[in-house]
Structures are given as C-alpha cells and as structure tokens.
Structure 1
Amino acid sequence: MCPDCRKNTQLRNIRLDHKSKTKTAFSDFVETEAAQEEGESSEYISLRSEPTALMSTTQLATFHGKRIESHVVLTKDGYLLTLHRLRSPFLLEDGNDRIGNFTVLMHHGLLGSSADWILLGPEKSLPYLLSDGGCDVWLANARGNYYSRGHVSKNVDSLDFWNFSFQEIGQYDLPAAVEYIRKVKNNNEQINYIGHSMGSTAFLVMLSLFPDYNKFFRIGILLAPLVYMSNSEGPLKIFTQMAINPPDQLLKLLGAGEFVPNRKIPVWIANKYCKGPELYCLNPLLFLCGVIPNENLWDRSLIARILYHIPAGGSTKTILHFAQIIKSGKFHKFNNEREEYPLSQVTVPIAVISSSDDLFATIPDVLRLYFSIVNPIDNHIIRGKNLSHVDFLWSPNADSLIYKKVIHFLIDGLNTNSSKINEFI
C-alpha cells in the first residue's frame, strides 16, 4: 500500500472511531455526572423528566424534524473535533429559499457546544431559521466539549489534553473547520460566520494570526463578543488577581486541566458571589456570567435543557485567559500582555450585536472592539430588553430581537453604510 494511502486509511479509521465514541459521549457524560452530583437536589433531579433534557445535538435536531450530519475534523495539533451540519430542506431551483444559498459557520460560546444554538426549539433557534431559509449551516464544537474530546495521542484525562485556551481554538480549531468545509463544498464560495461570546473571540484570533483566511469569509456577525473586557462584571473578576500564576488551591477548586469537571461550582463560592437559587448559581456558565434565569420567560423545559447541556466542557486555562484580559484591558495572548492580537489584520466585514443588560460583554467594551475593526458594518445595541449574555441564545424573544437582525446582516449587511451604529430601544 502506498504511504499516502496508508495515511488516509489510518486517518479514516481514527475519524470513524471518534464518531462512534461521540454517539454516546454526551449521554454517558451527563448521566454519570448526574448520578454523582445531584443526590442532594430534588429540584435538579425533577428536571431530568423533561424528555429532551438528555438529548445530544443530533438527537435534538432529529427530534425537531431536521436533517443533520456529524463530521469529524482533525486539527494540525491532533485534536478530533465534531462539526454538525444542518442540510437545508430547500434547493435554490425550487424557488422556496427565503434567505439565500449561503454557507454559514456558527461557533458557540464559553463552555458551550453546538447544542446551545438549538436548545430554544424548532421554531425559534437560529440554525433552523437559517437552514429553513436555504442556508448550509455548520455548527462547530471547540476542543474539550462533549463532542470534541478526542486526540490522536493525548488522553482526555491527562493535563496535557487540556493545555489550551481560546487561542488554540482560534489558531487550530477554526482553521481546521474552514479547510474541511471548503474541501467538502469543493468550491470557492465564501463562508458567513456567526459567533457568540467566545466564538467571536476565536474568530478574531484566527483572522489576526492568519490574515490569509480573511479571503475565505464574506461576513462576520459577532453576538456579545468577548474581546475587550475591562468593564465586565460578575464572579469571573474574582480570578483576575490570580490568573497569571494561579495557586494550587485555586486549581484544586477549578480543576487543573478541565474547568470544574464535576460540572458544579463549589457551594461556598456560589453562595458568596452569586445571589439566587443554588440551582443556577452552581452552574459554571451561569455563575461566571452572573445570570439568574427569569423563570417567567424561561419555561421549565428550556431550563432543563440548559442545565443539562451547560457546561459542555472547557479548560481552566481558557477561563484564566479571559480573567487575564479583564485585568489587563487588552486583547492579548495567554500570560503575555505585550503580545496583543493584531486586529488590524482582520479585514472581513464585521457586524456586532450587543445588549445593555449583558454584564459580561458590556456596551463600552463592545464599542471599543467595534471602533478597532478595520471594516465595520454596524454595531447594533439592544437596550432595555433584559437580554443577558446567554439570552442571545435562549431568550424566548431572541428570534425577533436578535435573529431577525442577523438575517438582515446576512442578506443586506454588505450594502449597509460602514461605521454605522444602530440601537434597538
């Protein structure tokens, strides 16, 4: 057998093995942790009766009546990532498409996964709105989450596996996804990018480090981007003074590799820095973002899905990296304030959407980012609608307040006057 043929066969076998493992990784992970951690909380246990709480991305999409595929992508540094692809039910020739035959790559936020985008359900989730409108939608999964826990040589239980921050997600994960999509599509069509939270961070890291990738994108739409964070509020700020040289005690609390691998913030920390029911304060993402769900808006079924899908996994190094940029007020590499990511290299047209009620991606910080962008389209600020950092995904009004604007940017954004600032009041 020729050397290249042997290499391709080995790679195919690795991908098939990873794909078979990810079929059960989500349910096994959640079930195991649920059994270990929830004995004391009858309220938490009762949420498990929600039929969709323990469904994976593919199971949820299938349950919602959508066509979905799983693709395994190999990064240059050996991580095996899962890309989920939603195939549009409409073809251009039948005249039924309403948005356009766009290719859209979407990346989740901090501690999230591809499931985040579809937890809102079949009628309002952004990937479904895009897919039903004719778009070819690809949902990324960052290294370390439920669907991307494979490596060609590193064990997921080793500290070496978790030695990454959002820099590696931008440096390795996103380029691998872009190259894979271009290979599958086998054309020169530009990709439209939508990133929430850390998904925006990784996008700007990629384009600043690899300017040649700018030509592969038609537009970037950043939802609540985490780039400049000097005005961020919430419990993440308590880690800022220890983020560069974290003491062993802190790493013992947070996890030396994976961030809180038991999926729960220690009770004493939650009680000290979070005001609200323990059910929410113990959740790592809601804790860090300072979000207590509005139960008048989030129904119990949605709450169940969120609490059982979030956190989907991430590294402590990622959390510390964000803490470092909160402290420094700069957008820089891990443990190195002097090496800022050169945003001047990002030439893709960029639209930004933010909220006045987001304590994590604040208006002043997002404005600073917007005015640092070489090719800005619009900065859309939503005021007075109680949209927190996670409500960009899960607000029952997200379709009308946010996604309608996202679709507008996809269709007409490149025709919008540059350096425009709109506000939704």
Structure 2
Amino acid sequence: MTNNHLSLSIVAFILLLFFFLFSWSAIAETGVCSSLAVPSGYKCEEFDVKTEDGYILKMQRIPSVADQPGTPVLLQHGVLADGMVWQLNSPGEALAFVLADAGYDVWIANTRGTRWSRRHEILDPSSRAFWAWSWDELVTYDLPATVEFVYKQTGQKLHFVGHSQGTLIALAALSEGGLGEKLISAVMLSPIGFLTHMKTKLGVLAAKSFLGEIYAWLGIAEFDPAGSSVKNLMKKLCRNPTVNCYDLFSAFTGKNCCLNESTIELYLQYEPQSTSTRNMVHLAQNFRAGAPTKFDYGGGENLRRYGRLTPPPYNFSKIRGDLPLFISYGGKDSLSDVEDVRDLVNELTAGNVSLVVQYVGDFAHADFVMGTAAKSVIYDAVVDFFRRHS
C-alpha cells in the first residue's frame, strides 16, 4: 500500500469513527424517539424525571396527531423491558401510536436500571448501591415521580396503562393511597397482582430454588439478561428436563398467538433490559408467599424497617372505589395466570372498585404489548374505556 493510500485509509477511518461516535451520541441523547417514534412518522420529545431517591429516569412524549392537545396517558412497561415495547409494532398496531392517532397525549415511562434510565445524582450503575432496590422502590419513587411529572407538564389528570410488573406497582401504589387523585382511570394488561399460580417453568424453578437470593448473596446486584451471570443461571435452570430452553420466550410468557417475525426481531434488538437482582428476588418472594408483600429482608431487618418480623402485605381491596379500572388477561398466559387474575378481581371487587374485566382466551403475556391482534382485540376496547371516562 502506498503512503497516499495509507493516508486516505486513515482519513476514512477517522471520518467513519467520527460519524459513528456522532451518531451514537445522538441516539443516546434522543433514545426512544430517534429509534422508533420519529422514523414511524410521529413527533416525539424526551424528558428527564428525577425521583426523590436520586434516580434520573428518561421519559418520552408522543403528542396527539390532532391539532389540539389530548388527554395524557402514561404507559408503564413490565420487568426486563423498557418503553420500547409500546412501539415495536407498526403504527397501526403499537399501543403508543394507536393512542396518539386516537387523539391522546402519550407519555412513556422507563424504569430505573433500563437502557435510558441508568443515571443517578451520585451513584454509578457499576456500583452495588445503584441496584439496591426492588419493586417497592418503583411503587414509592418511580411511578409517583412519572405521574407527577406528566400531571405538572400537562396540567391535567391522566389515564394509566400498565403491563405485567407495571400493573403490580400501580396496584400497590393505589392500595397505599397514592396516585389516585391524579388519575382518571387505569388499565391493567396481563396483571400480576398475585403470582401464586404462575406456570412459567423457568420462573417457578428459579423462585423455588432460591437462586435469586444466592446471586444476591454472591454480590451480583444487576440482573442483566445479556450478562454472563444470568447466562450461567439460565444454564443451570435449563438442565431441568421440564424446561424447554429451545423456546425461552414461550417458556417465560406462555405460547403467544399473535407475534410476527419482524416484531420479535425488533424485540431482540432492543430488549430484554436489566433490572436489579433484588427485584427478581422480591418477585420470587411474592410467589412463595402466595400474596404481594413488601420486600422480606429477614426477621431482624424487617423489625427495624417495618416494626414487625414479617413484611406487610399490599391490600388491593383498599384501592379507591371511584377509580375506574380495566383489566385484560389471557388464557395462555404463564405469568399472569387465570386463577391469579381471578383472585385479584375478587379482592378488587371486595373494595367496591369500578371494574371492567376482559378475558382473551388465545392471548399469552407478550401478546398484550406486541401481538398483531392486540389493536382490534384490546386497544380499541381501551380507547372506548378512556372515552367513557374522559
């Protein structure tokens, strides 16, 4: 290679490197907006929301496509996911876009520890302290911070939509007396208020074997699905002959009826996301306890934190009766089991909650956020529900 050719190669490499760094920094700054919303033809804004305990959460806003501002709707994703899940389908099928098309002002939350919410005032994600939380903290800090932010930005009460763990933290927060005065209504897709009858074999096996506690004891604070620690955990679980590790997605969620290949490819491009090991331990505790309780630190620490030896339960029957709730659940769902949802409905009914319940026999856990049939089967009903409670 001549000196001229070598010089041109170096220049080309520098330009390529500069382009890559510039492009990456732009994506890092705009996040979800630049990845999916804007390419799909929607306006999109990014905001930082700070929680009382110092976490800085990224939030996206997709305004109504109509000329006038719409009623705000907050979308809250589940565990091991982030706000991307609401946009993985086409504009005519993804809930974020369906709601914007229907005239709503869409706000998308991203829980602490996920791709766009890995910042804190003083803590670094590489530290154990950054990951010292479970879904209790999402109830106490993250969800109230995002609801309050939307409420102040818009000057309006808002509708809420949660999926999976997003429903759990909403139900818990509402049962503690929070959020209700700022919400118009709430939609729970694949609710996991109870996990007693969970049938996902990987989840049951992990919960029964106390593997999460072991990983926490070993100092593995971040539960990163792409990390070596979680991969080693999966290898251990997959040695069990009852677990089909050739289809891990279905092993976790149940057999989804309505996912297409392009959606799954997008999902694998952006998901799954990290959470804390303590959060996974807390979910396992709820399964073993047979009811949703606050995190169980052990007798002595429970006594110091809660004034009792066992963690206090969340009582969903205390949710305000005048807040309209819409629950949609599936017959093939291995995480949000039919029996558990019925137990949740019974508890809510005992509290005289205004409740609409939808059962979709063919749907499993992921169908509610990524299924191609979700728009006609569920989202249209959600929009009707919102309009009845404007």
Task: Specify if TM > 0.5.
Answer: yes
Maintained 8 Å contact 1:22/1:147: no
Alpha-carbon offset, residue 58 of structure 1:
3.3
Aligned-CA RMSD value: 2.7
Residue 279 of structure 2 is matched in structure 1 by: 318
CA contact (8 A) 1:208 1:344 kept: yes
- For these two proteins, the number of residue pairs brought into alignment is 346
Task: Provide the C-alpha distance between the structure 2 equivalents of 1:90 and 1:290, rounded to a whole number of angstroms.
Answer: 36
Computing the radius of gyration from Cα coordinates, the structure with the larger value is 2
Deviations 1:201-241 (A, max 9, x none): 111222223x1521111101100111111100111111223
Contact in 2 for aligned 1:243/1:324 (Cα 8 Å): no
- Counterpart secondary structure, 2:357: strand
Percent of aligned pairs sharing the same letter: 26
AA aligned to 1:309 is: Y
Residue 154 of structure 1: CA displacement?
0.5
Secondary structure at 2:78 match in 1 = coil
Matched, 1:230 2:208: no
Distance 2:34 2:384 in 1: 28
**1:240 matched residue in structure 2:** 207
If the length of structure 1 is used for normalisation, what is the TM-score? 0.75
- TM-score in terms of structure 2 length: 0.81
The residue correspondences of 1:233-312 to structure 2 (distance < 5 A) are 233-234=199-200, 235-243=202-210, 246-248=213-215, 255-262=220-227, 264=231, 266-270=234-238, 272=240, 274-275=243-244, 277=246, 280-281=247-248, 286=249, 289-291=252-254, 297-312=258-273
Q: Is the 1:244–1:324 contact (alpha carbons within 8 Å) kept by the matching residues of 2?
A: no
> Is structure 2 residue 60 aligned with structure 1 residue 84?
yes
Letter in 1 for 2:117: S
Query: 1:71 maps to which residue?
Result: 47
With over 3 angstroms needed to count, the CA separation of the structure-2 counterparts of 1:306 and 1:91, relative to structure 1, is: same
C-alpha spacing 1:293/1:366, structure 2 compared with 1 (3 Å): closer
Measure, in 2, the Cα distance between the counterparts of 1:178 and 1:256: 27
Aligned to 1:124: 93
Match of 2:187 among 211, 221, 243: 221
**Residue 14 of structure 2: aligned partner:** none
1:183/1:288 CA distance change after superposition, 3 Å:
farther
Give the Cα–Cα distance (whole angstroms) in 2 for the partners of residues 78 and 288 of structure 1.
36
- In the TM superposition, residue 56 of structure 1 has moved relative to its aligned partner by 4.2
Alpha-carbon distance in 2 for matches of 1:144, 1:370 = 31
Q: Which residue identity is paired with 1:236?
A: G
Please state whether the residue corresponding to 1:371 is helix, strand or coil: helix
1:163–1:402 Cα change, 3 Å? same
- Counterpart residue identity of residue 315, structure 2: P
Cα distance in 2 for partners of 1:339, 1:25 equals 40
- Name the aligned partner's letter for residue 408 of structure 1: D
- 1:346 corresponds to which letter in structure 2? I
Match of 2:20 in 1: none
- Aligned in 2, Cα 1:396/1:287: closer, same or farther, shift over 3 Å? closer
Q: Give the match's secondary structure for 2:131.
A: coil
Which amino acid in structure 2 is aligned with residue 61 of structure 1? A
Matched, 1:346 2:309: no
Query: Do structure 1's residue 164 and structure 2's residue 140 form an aligned pair?
Result: no
Structure 1 residue 91: deviation in Å?
2.6
Change (3 A) 1:364 1:107: same
Instruction: Work out the CA distance in 2 between the residues paired with 1:170 and 1:57.
Output: 26
In the aligned structure 2, how far is the partner of 1:267 from the partner of 1:287?
A: 17
Residue by residue over 1:95-138, the C-alpha shift from the partner in whole angstroms, topping out at 9 and shown as x without a partner, is xxxxx932101100111111000101212011111111110110
Contact 1:354 1:363 in 2 (8 A): yes
> Is the aligned partner of 1:364 residue 2:334?
no
Report the Cα distance in structure 1 between the residues aligned to 2:326 and 2:167, rounded to whole angstroms.
11
* Offset at residue 312 of structure 1 (A): 1.7
| CA deviation map 1:354-413 (0-9, x unaligned) | 011111101111111112123132111111x2x111111111111111112211211126
The answer as to whether partners of 1:356 and 1:381 remain within 8 angstroms in 2 is yes
For the pair 1:107 / 2:76, whether they are aligned, the reply is yes
Q: Which sections of structure 2, spanning at least 5 residues, go unmatched?
A: 1-22, 297-301, 303-309
Deviation at 1:351, TM superposition (A): 1.4
CA deviation map 1:255-312 (0-9, x unaligned): 43334452746345335353253xx52xxxx376244666xx5333222111122212
Give me the whole-angstrom Cα distance separating, in 2, the residues matched to 1:131 and 1:266.
39
Q: Quick one: distance in 1 between partners of 2:66 and 2:122?
A: 41
| Partner-residue secondary structure (3-state), 1:351 | strand
Inter-partner Cα distance in structure 2 for 1:88 and 1:114: 18
- Identify if the C-alpha distance between structure 1 residues 22 and 151 changes in structure 2 by more than 3 Å, giving closer, same or farther: farther
Residue 403 of structure 1 pairs with residue 379 of structure 2: yes
